[in-house]
Amino acid sequence: MDPTFSAYRRRLAALTLLLVPLGIATKFYAGPASAWVAAYAGGFLYVVFWTLLVLALRPTLSARWVAGCVLVATCALEFLQLWHPPLLEAARRPFLGQALLGTSFTWADFPYYAAGALAAVWISRWLRGRAGASSARSAPRSALAGLLLWCTLFAVAFGTIEGAVVVYLRELYYPQGFSFPLKQIEPRVLSVEIVREAATLLVLLAFARLATAGRLRRFAVFAFCFGVWDLVYYVTLKLWLDWPASILDWDVLFLIPVPWLAPVLAPVLVSLALVAAAVVILGASKLSLRPVDWAVEIGAGVLILASFFTNTGVLAAGGVPANYSWMLFLLGWLGGVAWFAVRVVRSRVVQGDPEQRRTG
């Protein structure tokens, strides 16, 4: 490694080590403004710490890209505090679990997380300048960070709108709380809802078409926005309706061409996989998918969709869904994720080996 990067890494590592006792101290500080320090300073330092730690391990990465990823992950952990299943509660019980996972959700934490990300970027740039390390490699990462930032903002806003619409519908049809069997909806209202769902997909497709160039990259933008949109939708319902009570509660996912039903965990897993795959595709300069790759992924998607349709007949008969085909879902989900992961790893190996590039 370039000596300047070695110096940059050493300074990052030293500062990261310094932040550990400083962060712990915020939980025991008893001086002036102790309530503010205990509530918010730790969140600020949390984002700074993880950003600088990643940069210390990979000093050639863009500071803005790393800070953005840490900020998203930290916000996701904050939203995770809305759920209190026994396993998570057990993990949060020790001091280390409380420090890493948090215990209670509050909107006031988010500005401090953002401030921590900005501070980490400034600190890393200052340390990089002091060490004389070049930042030439950060331009592609910065472009990717900008694209993902705007995609995230769009998807979060759109997911919030989706959640608001469903809040209105549930206030009208389920004022006592959403449950099965479903209530009868007037045909006119149902047709409007189906048109709205189709329009939602068209908006996501149009945004992907305008956001970038190339079919694969456009597909990745669509997948990223769809995944974030879906995740934000469930977060808004949890915030506004305190639903779902459990990640295994049943939901009607879609109405086109027939109703899709599954426990909330299933679409959440699909959305997380879509977001992760999209980031990999957008961040890879030479990744391509062969027809066989598309065939496998489409097949995996068909299996997942089939699991969503297994209770459609029960719903049509006015019944309550009870048994979800997790075997069918996991076969599709794990198969699709595993195939994509192997394809990505193999693609990187081939790119780094001239002999393999010649032999395919």
CA distance 154 to 207: 9
Last residue of a domain, one of 136, 152, 170: 136
pLDDT score of 145:
78
Q: Are 49 and 69 contained in the same domain?
A: yes
More confidently predicted of 3 and 234: 234
CB-CB neighbours of 128 under 10 Å = 22
Q: Are 113 and 172 contained in the same domain?
A: no
Three-state secondary-structure class, residue 247: coil
Q: Among all chains, which residue has been given the structure tokens 């102790």? A: 34
CA distance 287 to 348: 8
pLDDT score of 348:
64
Confidence of residue 355 (pLDDT cuts 50, 70, 90): very low
* Averaged pLDDT, 278-306: 91
| Number of domains into which the chain is organized | 2
Say yes or no to pLDDT of 52 above 50.
Answer: yes
pTM of the model: 0.71
Domain hosting 294: range is 140-359
Q: Are 192 and 298 contained in the same domain?
A: yes
Tens of pLDDT, residue by residue over 87-120, are 777 877 787 777 777 777 787 888 889 899 999 9
Q: Are 112 and 180 contained in the same domain?
A: no
DSSP annotation string for 130-174: HHT---TTHHHHHHHHHHHHHHHHHHHHHHHHHHHHHHHHHHHH-
Q: Are 43 and 172 contained in the same domain?
A: no
Q: Are 116 and 147 contained in the same domain?
A: no
Confidence of residue 303 (pLDDT cuts 50, 70, 90): very high
DSSP bridge partners of 251: 262
Confidence of residue 81 (pLDDT cuts 50, 70, 90): confident
Say yes or no to pLDDT of 84 above 80.
Answer: no
Q: Are 42 and 107 contained in the same domain?
A: yes
Confidence of residue 132 (pLDDT cuts 50, 70, 90): low
CB-CB neighbours of 35 under 10 Å = 8
Q: How many helices (H) and strands (E) does the chain have?
A: 15, 2
Last residue of a domain, one of 113, 136, 159: 136
Last residue of a domain, one of 120, 136, 152: 136
Q: Are 256 and 159 contained in the same domain?
A: yes
CA distance 360 to 353: 10
CA dihedral 154, 42, 122, 81 (to 10 degrees): -20
CA distance 84 to 199: 35
Percent pLDDT > 90 in the chain is: 45
Mean of pLDDT over the chain: 86
* Averaged pLDDT, 275-285: 88
